[in-house]
Amino acid sequence: MTTPNVPIEPRKGDVHTYDIAPNVLDASGEVHVGLTLDAVRPPSEEEILKVDNLTVEFPTDDGVVRAVRGVSYSLREREVLGIVGESGSGKSVSSLAVMGLLPKSARVKGQILFRGDDMLKMSARKQRSLRGRKIAMVFQDPMTALNPVHTVGDQLAEAVLAHELMPRKSALARAKEMLDLVGIPQAEARLRSYPHEFSGGMRQRAMIAMAVINNPDIIIADEPTTALDVTVQAQILEKLLEVKDAVNAAIVLITHDLGVIAGMAHRVLVMYAGRPVEVGETDPVFEEPRMPYTAGLLGSIPSLENSGDRLRPIKGTPPSLINMPAGCPFSPRCPLADDTCRTAEPELAETDSGGHFAACHHWDRLAAVEDPTVFFRTESETKA
C-alpha cells in the first residue's frame, strides 16, 4: 500500500504541499524501508495496558469541555498502537490521563489497567513508581521536558535515581549507555552538554534515552517528531522502533501523520471529537476503512501514482466539545449523513472483518464500494 507522509489537517488554504516520508521512499520515489515492523520483534498476546471507557472532562467558565468521551483500547506487549485524529480530538488528553499528568481540575472516569491493576485506584506512591519507570512518555517538544540548567547526563542519571537506589556513577554509566543506544555520538562527552547545545534531533534522541532508561514496558510518544524536519523525523522514528526492541517495550504513537502510522503501527485507533471512531489492524483500516471520517482522511492523501492530484481535505470543522450536537458528531461533515445519523450517536461496533471496529450507522455502505474515499470526491473527480 502507499504510505505518503502528509499532515491530515489542512494548514494553509485547502491545498497542502506534502513530503514523502524518507523512511518509506528515497529521492527517486522508490520504496526504501529502513526499518519496518517486520524487522522488529512481534507483539506477544500478553495485554499490558487496557484503557476502558475513559472519560475526561474539564469544567471551564464557558461550560464543561468533554475532551475524552469513552475511550477504550488495549495494548499488548511490544505492540505499536497508532492514535490519529484531528487537532482537539482528545489524543493528548487521553494519553496524559494514562501518565497522570492532567491538571487537577480534570474529572477522570473509567479504568486504566496496567497489567490488570487499575491505575486510577492505586495509591499515589504506586502510581508514581509506575509512571516514568514502567510507562514513559516522549513529548513533541523536548525543551518542555528537559531542564535547560542541568546537563543531559545529570538529567538522565536523575531519571534513574528517582526509581532505583544506586551509586551516581552507575547511574551516569547507564545514561551513557542510553545515549549510545539512541545514536548520539561521543556519548561520554555529551553527558556534560546542556540541552541547548544539542540540535533538535539530538534533543529528541535524548528524550527517547530518558524515556527508556528505566526499561519501561510502555512508551507513549505524543507527536514525537512533528517539530523536526522530515529527514530527521525518519531517523528518529526508526530509532524509536529500534530502541523499543532493545528494551522490549510497546509504543502508543500519537501522530497527525497517516504515513507514519502506516509504516510503524500494528494497529490504529482513529479519534474524532473525543471518541474512537475506528479501530483495527493498520492495513485493513487503511485499505478498507469502515468509518467515513477515516475514508475522508485517506482521501485527502494523494496517491503516489498521481501525486500531482489536488488534495481533498474534509470540509468543515470538528464540533464544539462543550455543546456537542445530537447524533453522530461527524454528521455535519459527512456525505452519508441522514436523519438516523443526526439523532443517534453510533456505538463502536465490529464490522465485517474480525477485530475491525467502527462507529458508524452506515459502515456497510463503505463496504459496498471498492474505494470508500469516493464519497469525498467532487462530482467532476468521480466522473474523471
Ligand X SMILES: Nc1ncnc2c1ncn2[C@@H]1O[C@H](COP(=O)(O)OP(=O)(O)OP(=O)(O)O)[C@@H](O)[C@H]1O
Per rule CB under 6 A, is residue 321 in the interface with ligand X? Answer: yes
Q: Is 219 in the site for ligand X (CB under 6 A)?
A: no
Residue 44 in contact with ligand X, rule: CB under 6 A: no
Closest of 198, 244, 324 to residue 79, by C-alpha: 244
Our finding on whether 69 is near ligand X (CB under 6 A) is no
C-alpha–C-alpha distance, residues 350 and 96, integer Å? 27
Q: Which of 91, 239, 266, 275 binds ligand X (CB under 6 A)?
A: 91
- Contact between 187 and 211 under an 8 Å Cβ cutoff? The reply is no
Indicate whether 362 belongs to the interface with ligand SF4 (CB under 6 A): yes
C-alpha cell at 173: 554509566
Look up residue 324 and give its DSSP letter.
P
For residue 90, give the C-alpha cell: 482528545
Told to check if 275 binds ligand X by CB under 6 A, we report no
| Beta strand segments in the chain, E | 47-60, 63-76, 80-84, 107-114, 117-118, 135-138, 218-222, 250-255, 267-272, 275-281, 349-350, 357-358
- Residue 360 near ligand SF4 by CB under 6 A: yes
**Residues 140, 141, 142: CA angle, nearest 5 degrees:** 115
Q: Which does 341 bind (CB under 5 to 8 A by kind): ligand SF4, ligand X, Mg ion, none?
A: ligand SF4
State the binding partner of 116 from ligand X, ligand SF4, Mg ion, none, CB within 5 to 8 A by kind. none
Please pick, from the candidates 36, 87, 186, 303, the single residue that binds ligand X as defined by CB under 6 A.
Answer: 87
What is the distance between the alpha carbons of residues 108 and 237, in angstroms, rounded to a whole number? 31
- What is the residue whose three cell numbers read 467532476? 380
- Answer positive or negative: Cα dihedral of 360, 361, 366, 368: positive
Residues contacting residue 248 through CB under 8 Å, at least 6 positions apart: 41, 77, 78, 215, 217
* 317 touching ligand X, by CB under 6 A: no
Contact in structure between 249 and 219 (CB atoms under 8 Å): yes
Q: How far is the CB of 267 from Mg ion (least distance, A)?
A: 19
Q: Does 366 bind ligand SF4 (CB under 6 A)?
A: no
Q: Which of residues 69-98 bind Mg ion (CB under 5 A)?
A: 92
Q: Minimum CB separation from ligand X for residue 102, in Å?
A: 7
Residue 56: how many other CB atoms lie within 10 Å: 22
How many chain residues interact with ligand SF4 (CB under 6 A)? 13
Q: Whose Cβ is closer to ligand X: residue 105's or residue 123's?
A: 105
> Residue 198 binds which entry of ligand X, ligand SF4, Mg ion, none, with Cβ cut-offs from 5 to 8 Å by kind?
none
Among 5, 23, 55, 89, binds ligand X (CB under 6 A): 89
Contact 51, 94 (CB under 8 A): yes
Please report whether residue 113 would count as binding ligand SF4 according to CB under 6 A: no
The C-alpha R_g of the chain, in whole angstroms, comes to: 21
Kindly write out the interface string for residues 311-330 of this chain, putting x where it contacts ligand SF4 by CB under 6 A and - elsewhere: -----------------x-x
Q: DSSP 3-state assignment of 231?
A: helix
Stretch that binds ligand X, among 80-88, 187-195, 236-244, 291-299 (CB under 6 A): 80-88
Residue 103 binds to ligand X (criterion: CB under 6 A): yes
Using the minimum distance from each CB to ligand SF4, give the nearer residue, 34 or 70. Answer: 70
Please give the Cα distance from 198 to 186 (Å, whole number): 12
Determine the interface stretch with ligand X among 25-33, 86-94, 113-121, 341-349 (rule: CB under 6 A).
86-94
Instruction: Report d(CA 69, CA 190) in Å as an integer.
Output: 44
What are the cell numbers at 340? 438516523
Q: Which stretch binds ligand X (CB under 6 A): 81-89, 162-170, 297-305, 335-343?
A: 81-89
Q: How far is the CB of 90 from ligand X (least distance, A)?
A: 4
Nearer to ligand SF4, 34 or 332 (CB): 332
- As a whole number of angstroms, the distance between CA 4 and CA 302 comes to 8
Q: For binding to Mg ion (CB under 5 A), which residues are involved?
A: 92
Q: For binding to ligand X (CB under 6 A), which residues are involved?
A: 58, 60, 65, 67, 85, 87-93, 103, 321
Q: For binding to ligand SF4 (CB under 6 A), which residues are involved?
A: 291-292, 328, 330-331, 334, 336-337, 341, 346, 360-362
